[in-house]
Structure 1
Amino acid sequence: MEQKTSKQAHVLVLPYPAQGHINPMLEFAKRLVFKGIKSTLAITIFQSKSLHMHLDPESSSIAIETFSDGYDEGGYAQAESTEAYLESLNVAGPKTLEELIKKLDDIGQPVSAIVYDAFLNWGLDVAKKFGLISVPFFTQSAAVNNIYYHVNRGLLQLPLSETQVSIPGLPLLEASETPSFVHDYGPYPGFSGLILNQFSNVDQADWLLLDTFYELEEKVVDWMAKLWKIGTVGPTLPSMHLDKTLEDDRDYGTNIFEPKTSVSMNWLNNRPSGASVVYVAFGSWASLNPEQMEELAWGLEGSNCHFLWVVRENEETKLPSKFLEEISESDQGLVVSWSPQLEVLAHESVECFVTHCGFNSVIEALSLGVAMVAMPQWTDQPTNAKYVEDVWGTGIRALPDEKGVVRREIVEKCIKEVMVGEKGKKMKENAKKWKRLAKEAINEGGSSDKNIDEFVAKLLCS
C-alpha cells in the first residue's frame, strides 16, 4: 500500500455511541490515516469520560473530539427510556456537531467530509449545511441493510403478512430469519425508528460505505450499487489480524469494560496439548434469561469440550448453582467477565464460537477462520445466523423450542457437530476459505482496499 499525503483532506468520523459501532469506524479511520488523510473521531462527552481508550501513540494522528447526546454524565443509562435517549441524541447531536466543525475550522483544521454512522442520519444534514462530503457508514451487513431499505421505502410492508420474504439479492427468507424489528414489529418503537430511518435521506449522500467485503455479499452489493455509489470497506478488524500493514494496530483501542487480557489467554495457553476449545460470548448488549442461561451452561458442560465463556458481571447471578464449582473441579471450562475476543478467536486451540451473531462478532469469526454455533437473540442477528449456516456455510443454528429457549441437548448437539461431526469438517473448511478471502479483500489491490483508495481520491480532488 503506497502512502498518500494531503494537507487539506480531513474526515470527521461520527459513530453511533455504542461499542459495536465505534470499533469498525475507528478501524476505518486508521486506514484513512495510513492513506494520508487526517481523521478525527467524534464520540460523546460521556464516552470520553467512561471508555477505556488505549490507542497506540503511532495512531495519535487520529484526533479524539466530542459531541453531546444530551446525557453527558451517564449516557444511555442516564435516560428515562430508549425513546428519551434517542430524542435527546437527535436534538443535542446535530447542534454540538455543528459547534465542533466550527471549532475545528477556527483552529485551522477544516473538515472536508463527514463519515457518519447511518444510524445518525442527521449527519447528512450537518454535512450539507457546511458544504461537506456526506458519507453514511453502515455497520451491519449489506443483506440486513437491504431489508431495512425495502421496509423504509414501503416495498416490504409491516407487519409481515407472509411466512416467507423475498428481497432482491438475498436468498428466500423465512419471516423469522428477518431482523427482529421486521418479523416482531411493534415492541421496539425507539430502536425500530432509528434503524429504519437510516434510509430516509440516503439518496442525498455522496457515497455509501458498507462494513463488509464484496466477496462476502456479492449479489446484494451488486443490487444496491444500482441505486447508490457503494463502497465495501471491510472487514474492519485491526490490521495485524488481516494484512499486517499497520504494525501497531493489534486491537481496536477502545473498551466499555476494563480489559483483563491475561486471565483468558493464560487459561487458553495452559490447555492440554491438542485440546480444542469452544469460545462462548454474546456481546455487550444481549441478555439471556435465567432459563436460557441454565440450559446453555449445562449444554456446554455436557459437550465434554473445553470452553471459555464470557459472562458479564451483571449476568453472573443467572448461572446455575454449583456450575462454577463443577467446571472448576474438572478444569473443563472457565467463566470470565471480559475477554480479548480477537486474541481468543485467533488462538490456535479455539475451534468453535458460540455466538449471538452480532455482525462484528460474525465478521471477526469469518476473518479468523472459526466455525460457529449461532444463537441469535434480536435485531440483525437472525439474518446473520441464516447467512452463517446457509450462505457462508461456516456454522450451524441452535434452534429454540416453542418457548424460545435453546435446550441443553441442542447446545450439546450443535457443539459436537462443529467440533467432531462430518458437517463440522465442511464448516471448518469454509471458515478457512473466508479467512483467506477476508485478508485478500483488505490487502493492497483487494476489493475493499480499492474502494478505500477511490474514496481517498475523491477527498483529494474535492
Structure 2
Amino acid sequence: METCRAHCLILPFPIQGHINPMLQFSKRLQHEGTKITLATTKSLFKTVNEVSGSISVKAISDGYDEGANGIAPEIYLLKFQKVGSETLTELILKLQDLGRPVDCIIYDAFLPWCLDVAKDLGVRAGVFFTQSCAVNNIYYHVRKGLLKLPLEATEVDIPGLPPLLASDLPSFVSNPGPYPATSQLVVHDQMEKIEEADWIFFNTFYKLEEKVNDWMATTLPVKTIGPTIPSMYLDKRLVDDKQYGLNLFKPMTNACVSWLSERSISSVVYVAFGSLAELDVVQMEELSWGLRTSNYHFLWVVRESESKKLPKDFVKETFDKGLIISWCPQPEVLAHKSIGCFITHCGWNSTLEALSLGVPMIAMPQWTDQSTNAKFVKDIWKMGIKAQPDENGIVRRDAIGQCLITVMEGEIGQEIRKNAKKWKDLARQALEEGGSSDENTKDFVSKLIQS
C-alpha cells in the first residue's frame, strides 16, 4: 500500500475536448508525485486500452452504459447527475477499502454535482475549467446577475476584460435560445457553487490572460495550470509525452505526417473544426472553393460524419494540392515545419495548441466560446485574423482566399508570425522556466501531499 503520495481522482466530462486537457494535467500531477485515478463512464471505458503509464482508469456510470447517442442533453445531464453521484461515491469508497483512499477529486466544471459528492465524503475538491478565464468570467458575471440576459446593449464592459461587442460573447450568452439545456449547464450550473471548491483550475497560463486572472483571483482560489498540451512540444519534461493518450476518433497519423513532410516550410494551410462543430453544406462548399482556388497546399480534417457535405469529386479533383483526412494528431500537425497557418473554429483546445506552437490563425468561430476566443486571437494576442461572414452568416470563398493571402504573405502576415513566436515562447516559459503555470501545479501538489 502506498502512503507517501497523495491520491487524486480525475473526472472529465466524457467528450474528447474535455478529456484531453484533464488527462494532460493528470500526467503533470503524476510527474510531481501524485497518484492518479482517471474516472470515466462505462461506455467510454470500453474503448480505453491504456491511457498513460501508471495512470489507473476506473469506470462509473452515467446511466447510459451502452452509449447516449440520440439522448436529449437535458435528459442525459439529469441522469448522469443521479447515477453518476451514486457510482462515483461507490468508486471512492471502494478505493478506500482497497487501501487507496482519495485525497482530492478534480472534476470537470460540466459535472458540478461532483462537489456535493466530495463534501459528503469529506474529500477536498478542485473544479477544472476547460475553457478560458475570459469566457468563464463572462459566465460568472451572468450567474451573479451582473450581466443581464437577454442582452440589451450592443457592447458590454466586464471587469478584467476588454470592451466586447455582443457578437464577441459566447453564443450561450448572446443567443441562448437554440440550446437551452446546454446554456443552463455552462452559464449557470457550472458556476453555481465554485466558491465552495478548494481550488479552481484554468487551462491557460498567466501571461496569456493576466488581467482577467488577477480580477478573478481577488475573490476566487484560481490557479492557471496550462497550457495542457503534450510535454514534448513545450518543456519536454515528460519523456515520450507526444500524444494526449486517448482518442475517441482514430487519427491518420502516418498519412498526414508523411504528406506534410513532402511540402516546403510554412506552405500548408491546416483546416480543422474540432470534434463537435458542424458546418452546413453551403459553408462546406464555400470553404472547399476557397481552398481549391488558393495558391496553397491544404490539409483538411473532415470528420466522417461531415464528409458527405463535401462537393462531389472534390477530393479527387484536389488530389494534387490537398489532403483530406478524418482525424489527425493535431499538436504533431501544428508543430510540423510545413504548416503556415491554421483555419480554425477557435475552440479553446485548438486555440491554445496553435498559440503554444506559434501557428498563425484564421478564425471561423461557430458557437459556444469560439467568438470570444476569436476576439482575443485577433485583437488582444494579435496572432491571427477573423474571416468575416456575410449577412447570412456564411464566410464566402473570396473572403477565405483573401484571409489566406493576408496571413501567408505581406506585412500583416509578418506581424502575426512575430506575435505567434512571442506567445509560443511565453507558453514554453510558463512550464519550463518556473512560470506561474507550473509553479501553481507544484504548489497544489506540495500542499496536497503535506496535508
**Residue identity matched to 1:96:** T
Q: Equivalents in 1 of 2:350, 2:313: separation in Å?
A: 30
Partner residue of 1:363? 352
Please give the per-residue CA displacement for 1:195-243, whole angstroms capped at 9, x wherever unaligned: 0211101111111111000000000000000011111000001110110
**Residue identity matched to 1:13:** I
Please state whether the residue corresponding to 1:299 is helix, strand or coil. helix
Partner residue of 1:337? 326
Tell me the percent identity: 57
Partner residue of 2:32? 35
Partner residue of 2:338? 349
Please state whether the residue corresponding to 2:122 is helix, strand or coil. coil
Q: Equivalents in 2 of 1:323, 1:191: separation in Å?
A: 35
Q: Equivalents in 1 of 2:290, 2:50: separation in Å?
A: 36
Total equivalences in the alignment: 449
Match for 1:158 among 108, 124, 149? 149
How far did residue 443 of structure 1 move? 1.4
Query: Is 1:222 the equivalent of 2:211?
Result: no
Match for 1:107 among 98, 106, 114? 98
Q: Equivalents in 1 of 2:70, 2:177: separation in Å?
A: 24
**8 Å contact 1:71–1:78 — kept in the other structure?**
no
How far did residue 12 of structure 1 move? 0.5
Partner residue of 2:313? 322
Cα RMSD for the two superposed structures: 1.2
**Residue identity matched to 1:63:** S
Partner residue of 1:457? 446
Q: Equivalents in 1 of 2:50, 2:350: separation in Å?
A: 21
Match for 1:251 among 229, 243, 263? 243
Please state whether the residue corresponding to 1:259 is helix, strand or coil. coil
Match for 1:416 among 405, 418, 424? 405
- TM-score norm. by structure 1 comes to 0.95
**8 Å contact 1:304–1:332 — kept in the other structure?**
no
Partner residue of 2:175? 184
Q: How does 1:192-203 map to 2 (within 5 A)?
A: 192-196=183-187, 197-203=189-195
Q: Equivalents in 1 of 2:47, 2:266: separation in Å?
A: 38
Q: Equivalents in 1 of 2:305, 2:183: separation in Å?
A: 26
**8 Å contact 1:275–1:306 — kept in the other structure?**
no
Partner residue of 1:389? 378
**8 Å contact 2:251–2:326 — kept in the other structure?**
no
**8 Å contact 1:179–1:382 — kept in the other structure?**
yes
**8 Å contact 2:39–2:60 — kept in the other structure?**
yes
How far did residue 6 of structure 1 move? 6.3
**8 Å contact 2:252–2:325 — kept in the other structure?**
no
Match for 2:13 among 13, 16, 22? 16
Please give the per-residue CA displacement for 1:61-90, whole angstroms capped at 9, x wherever unaligned: 211011111111013x152x1111111111
Q: Equivalents in 1 of 2:348, 2:28: separation in Å?
A: 20
Please state whether the residue corresponding to 1:314 is helix, strand or coil. coil
**Residue identity matched to 2:54:** S
How far did residue 323 of structure 1 move? 1.8
Please give the per-residue CA displacement for 1:283-328, whole angstroms capped at 9, x wherever unaligned: 0100100000000000111221100000011211111123222211
**Residue identity matched to 2:344:** T
Match for 2:41 among 40, 44, 55? 44
Q: Equivalents in 1 of 2:121, 2:50: separation in Å?
A: 32
Q: How does 1:235-274 map to 2 (within 5 A)?
A: 235-271=227-263, 273-274=264-265
Please state whether the residue corresponding to 2:178 is helix, strand or coil. coil
**Residue identity matched to 2:194:** V
Q: Equivalents in 1 of 2:444, 2:347: separation in Å?
A: 27
Q: Equivalents in 1 of 2:250, 2:397: separation in Å?
A: 31
Match for 1:26 among 9, 23, 27? 23
Q: Equivalents in 1 of 2:237, 2:265: separation in Å?
A: 31
How far did residue 185 of structure 1 move? 2.0
Partner residue of 1:404? 393
Partner residue of 1:72? 65
Partner residue of 1:97? 88
Q: Equivalents in 2 of 1:420, 1:302: separation in Å?
A: 16
Q: How does 1:424-439 map to 2 (within 5 A)?
A: 424-439=413-428
**Residue identity matched to 1:365:** A
Please state whether the residue corresponding to 1:217 is helix, strand or coil. helix
- TM-score norm. by structure 2 comes to 0.97
Please state whether the residue corresponding to 1:433 is helix, strand or coil. helix
How far did residue 121 of structure 1 move? 0.8
Q: Equivalents in 2 of 1:284, 1:434: separation in Å?
A: 25
How far did residue 259 of structure 1 move? 2.5
Query: Is 1:143 the equivalent of 2:134?
Result: yes
How far did residue 22 of structure 1 move? 0.6
Q: Where do 5+ consecutive residues of structure 2 fail to align?
A: none
Q: Equivalents in 1 of 2:260, 2:276: separation in Å?
A: 25
